[in-house]
């Protein structure tokens, strides 16, 4: 009897976790354009302008991401955890770019150790 109660509790907990993570992922799945860059380390004006001009990210439901942050991302992946507050983008070589994320219906803020980037839904 105790094992079945423990199993049921585990299933309910797993379901709650999956639903809460999926909600943030649904808001993220879309195309986004970088609208603001706030460097935390020295960044040349020309590089900042390149990021603002070319900066886009497209997230898909199957966990893939393409676009341009500091360089081109052609076949990257992403993981959204902590209820949508932590986002890790990996480029095609597997290099991780972790950041804190704030996701609303039309705005995405990515805060990493190098810079804070604001994106608007396209």
Q: What is the pLDDT of residues 91-122, one digit of tens each?
A: 999 999 999 999 999 999 999 999 999 999 99
**What CA–CA distance (Å, rounded) separates 57 from 64?**
10
pLDDT at residue 9 tops 90: no
Q: What is the pTM of this model?
A: 0.77
Q: Is the pLDDT of residue 7 over 60?
A: no
d(CA 57, CA 79): 14
CB atoms within 10 A of CB 60: 14
Report how many helices (DSSP H) and strands (DSSP E) the chain contains, helices first.
2, 8
Residue 76 has pLDDT above 70, yes or no: yes
């Amino acid at each position: 009897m105790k094992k079945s109660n423990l199993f049921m509790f585990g299933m309910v907990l797993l379901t709650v976790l999956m639903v809460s993570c999926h909600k943030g992922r649904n808001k993220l799945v879309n195309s986004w354009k970088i609208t603001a860059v706030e460097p935390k380390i020295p960044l040349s004006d020309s590089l900042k302008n390149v990021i603002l001009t070319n900066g886009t990210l497209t997230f898909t439901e199957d966990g893939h991401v393409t676009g341009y942050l500091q360089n081109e991302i052609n076949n990257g992946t992403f993981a959204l955890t902590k209820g949508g507050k932590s986002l890790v983008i990996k480029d095609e070589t597997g290099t991780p770019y972790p950041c804190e994320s704030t996701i609303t219906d039309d705005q995405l803020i990515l805060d990493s150790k190098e810079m804070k980037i604001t994106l608007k839904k396209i």
